[in-house]
Amino acid sequence: MSAYLDKLNAEQRMAVEFGVGQDAGPLLVIAGAGSGKTNTLAHRVAHLIVNGADPRRILLMTFSRRAAAEMSRRVERICNQVLGAKSGVMVDALEWAGTFHGIGARLLREYAGQIGLGVDFTIHDREDSADLMNIVRHELGFSKKESRFPTKGTCLSIYSRTVNSETPLEEVLKNFFPWCAAWNTELRQLFAAYVEAKQAQNVLDYDDLLLYWAQAATVSILAEDMSGRFDHVLVDEYQDTNRLQSSILLALKPEGRGLTVVGDDAQSIYSFRAATVRNILDFPKAFTPSANIITLDRNYRSTQTILAAANGVIDLASERFTKNLWTERQSSARPHLVTVRDETDQARYIVEEVLENRENGTLLKQQAVLFRTSHHSGPLEVELTRRNIPFVKFGGLKFLDSAHVKDMLAALRFVQNPRDRVAGFRLMLLLPGVGPSSAQRVLDQMSDSADPIAALSEVQAPPRAGADWTDFVQMLQQVRSSNADWPNEIEQARLWYEPHLERIHDDAPMRQADLLQLQQIAGGYSSRERFLTELTLDPPDATSDQSGVPLLDEDYLVLSTIHSAKGQEWKSVYMLNVVDGCIPSDLGTGSTAELEEERRLLYVAMTRAKDNLHLVVPQRFFTHGQNAQGDRHVYASRTRFIPATLLQYFECVAWPLARQAASERSGLRTLQVDIGSRMRGMWQ
């Protein structure tokens, strides 16, 4: 019965078995990378279920929907082993596994009526939020070029950071956006108007999902109801939660009973979203005297040589709580520190290594290329496409960022919530002959009506829109009253949209394929509302396939930003641009706190590797627009986080010297494909 516990070490087992009643806890598992935190958490959930906990009353929060799905699968596997087929039914009921934002959206939908939200609220992604910020900025007259007012993106970042950290605006400006400090008064006015606009339009942005949730939890009757529905609350990657998230947890479990959190302070990498490592460090204080802490110090992921190098890097950090890890996984090969001429050679080096590994039996899927910033992978993507190697990219541009997919979703969103002006604008501006002022007039007129979509046929049509306008209004009404049930209404929207797509884009066929794909994805959701919510919160990632959706049964190389690689592991890991300026990035303010976070990022990247780790250092790389000529090459040097004293942990190699000759001998054939069209399919 308890064979699943036998594989765990003593500390892991202690965490898993730490009380199964609703009153057990609070428990903090704080431990380094690869020490089995996530694995332990999955075992704990399974253990709770095996011991009679109701899976529908377990709340499990991780940092991505992918991570939550993976965790549910693990729990299911264990439960199946222990309980047999019966557990399948039970684990399907692990319905509250997800991200803070996703869970927040679901709860808010339920409590909408009680907190003055329209139940049909729609959710804005970052781009929509920036668009709304822009509309408001225009209305207030702050957007005149000569005034050099912060861009819509910067305004949104300032707003978001203020909200998530629950810190006064002045302080946020002073510490993180000093170049915007002079705009204090205008920003205050802008944010007030932005909040008002969201309320008037019944839309929530990402931050609102946490904000409203935290707010709802301060109303005692709602707080009681919310905390009463979960016997156990478990959180992975706790080091990357922010103040709002910890106050939500505190509201759900005021005394910490039934609360388990796990994390690693050395991997705290989300402070730009106002995550604070204080949450994990102050956990014991928040729940004095009852907090229980378990630490794990054995790493099961990486070989000893990789771990030694990673420990070396993090040892130079100024402050940290978790101790160094040890492992029994021996290896004679040290991680490679590879110097190449430039980014083109870097891409070629990686492709050669990846292919060689695959020939030796390591699937593409077991290899990953990591980078600090999404655009760093450009030259590699070109090389992979040229060589016909499939890849999936995490953390970069998403499927849903492409204009045509956003247009389609705007149609569905506008039907769902006709007060959503960003969606309305987007759609109306697709119509030839409709400009911003007529769109605005129509939106103003319809918004007063109790049934805005019906009202649309009454308002005066934009004079130059002609039949396109009638088609548009008809489509909205059809989709709304669609007899064809979900997801067929998406078909109606698509048929309306296609002529516009053909008119606007010259690569329409590729985009049409995306829309068919979208329709297929829609089939996996039970309702329009669920589809819109989940896709907005955690959209599928882009792949080398034109459809932009991972083909899960295929072998593909993983490309990922370090941020999105959190919690994962691969046999071989390659890291691009391990140079000063890229890591640490030279885009920040250069404060000590920021530098320390960049060091932790490198640590996170290195600790993803199980057997092989390659850090690549191009001697030259491109930077953007820092001079009048635009892009230029600069000479680079190895990251300062690997000073000479750490070189002992690496095998230092220069490429292509010996390597190229070998690859020429092996006669690898290069395939010519139309890179241009593939790339267009991926990124536009």
* 118 labelled ligand-binding: no
CB-nearer residue toward ligand ATP: 33 or 682: 33
Distance CA 324, CA 453 (A): 61
**Smallest separation, CB 64 to ligand ATP (Å):** 12
List the one residue from 125, 264, 265, 345 that touches ligand ATP (CB under 6 A): 264
Work out whether 14 is an interface residue with ligand ATP (CB under 6 A): no
State which of positions 568-607 bind ligand ATP (CB under 6 A): 569
CA 381 to chain centre: 20
Contact 655, 339 (CB under 8 A): yes
Distance CA 210, CA 162 (A): 13
List the one residue from 2, 7, 458, 651 that touches ligand ATP (CB under 6 A): 7
CB-nearer residue toward ligand ATP: 150 or 567: 567
CB-nearer residue toward Mg ion: 37 or 376: 37
CB-nearer residue toward ligand ATP: 7 or 148: 7
Give the position of tokens 């302070």.
265
**Smallest separation, CB 280 to Mg ion (Å):** 13
**Smallest separation, CB 66 to ligand ATP (Å):** 13
CA 219 to chain centre: 30
Position of minimal CB gap to Mg ion: 38
Helices 343-359, 657-666: inter-axial angle, 10-degree rounding? 50
**Smallest separation, CB 235 to ligand ATP (Å):** 13
List the alpha helices (DSSP H) in 122-205.
126-139, 152-165, 169-176, 184-201
State which of positions 454-513 bind ligand ATP (CB under 6 A): none
Closest among 653, 587, 646 to 617, alpha carbons compared: 653
Produce one character per residue of 615-639: b if its CB has 16 or more CB atoms within 10 Å, e if not: bbbbbbbeeeeeeeeeeeeeebebb
List the one residue from 16, 24, 30, 33 that touches ligand ATP (CB under 6 A): 33
Work out whether 567 is an interface residue with ligand ATP (CB under 6 A): yes
Distance CA 621, CA 341 (A): 9
Work out whether 37 is an interface residue with ligand ATP (CB under 6 A): yes
* 36 labelled ligand-binding: yes
Cα diameter, the chain: 77
List the one residue from 4, 9, 95, 653 that touches ligand ATP (CB under 6 A): 9
CB-nearer residue toward ligand ATP: 462 or 567: 567
Stretch that binds ligand ATP, among 4-12, 277-285, 317-325, 497-505 (CB under 6 A): 4-12
| Burial environment of residue 444 by CB neighbours within 10 A (0 to 12, 13 to 18, 19 or more) | exposed
Question: x/- contact string, 641-660, with ligand ATP (CB under 6 A)?
Answer: --------------------
222: which 2 tokens? 């709602």
β-pairing, 391-398 vs 541-543, is: antiparallel
Q: C-alpha angle with apex 546: 609 to 622, nearest 5 degrees?
A: 60
Amino acid at 188: R
What would you report as the CA-atom Rg of the chain, rounded to the nearest whole angstrom? 26
Closest among 210, 207, 197, 208 to 424, alpha carbons compared: 197
* 193 labelled ligand-binding: no
List the one residue from 4, 300, 326, 683 that touches ligand ATP (CB under 6 A): 300
Distance CA 53, CA 45 (A): 9
CB-nearer residue toward ligand ATP: 280 or 473: 280
**Smallest separation, CB 259 to Mg ion (Å):** 18
* 19 labelled ligand-binding: no
**Smallest separation, CB 329 to Mg ion (Å):** 18
Secondary structure letter of residue 590 according to DSSP: -
* 88 labelled ligand-binding: no
List the one residue from 34, 335, 424, 681 that touches ligand ATP (CB under 6 A): 34
**Smallest separation, CB 202 to ligand ATP (Å):** 38
CB-nearer residue toward ligand ATP: 7 or 633: 7
Produce one character per residue of 187-212: b if its CB has 16 or more CB atoms within 10 Å, e if not: beebbebbbebbeebbbbbbbbbbbb
Stretch that binds ligand ATP, among 34-42, 54-62, 194-202, 397-405 (CB under 6 A): 34-42
* 32 labelled ligand-binding: yes
Work out whether 8 is an interface residue with ligand ATP (CB under 6 A): yes
94: which 2 tokens? 């692990």
CB-nearer residue toward Mg ion: 240 or 353: 240
* 35 labelled ligand-binding: yes
Amino acid at 60: L
Closest among 505, 311, 488, 252 to 403, alpha carbons compared: 505
**Smallest separation, CB 12 to ligand ATP (Å):** 6
Binding site for Mg ion (CB under 5 A): 37-38, 567
Work out whether 302 is an interface residue with ligand ATP (CB under 6 A): no
CB-nearer residue toward ligand ATP: 31 or 123: 31
Work out whether 239 is an interface residue with ligand ATP (CB under 6 A): no
Contact 307, 600 (CB under 8 A): no
List the one residue from 35, 87, 305, 517 that touches ligand ATP (CB under 6 A): 35
**Smallest separation, CB 359 to ligand ATP (Å):** 25
Contact 430, 500 (CB under 8 A): yes
Selection from Mg ion, ligand ATP, none that 464 binds (CB < 5 to 8 A by kind) is: none
Amino acid at 598: E
* 33 labelled ligand-binding: yes
**Smallest separation, CB 37 to Mg ion (Å):** 5
Work out whether 80 is an interface residue with ligand ATP (CB under 6 A): no
Contacts of 479 (CB under 8 A, 6+ apart): 411, 412, 415, 489, 492, 493
Selection from ligand ATP, Mg ion, none that 36 binds (CB < 5 to 8 A by kind) is: ligand ATP
Residue ranges that bind ligand ATP, judged by CB under 6 A: 7-9, 12, 33-39, 264, 267, 300-301, 567, 569
Binding-site residue numbers for ATP are 31-38
Q: Which residues line the annotated binding site?
A: 31-38
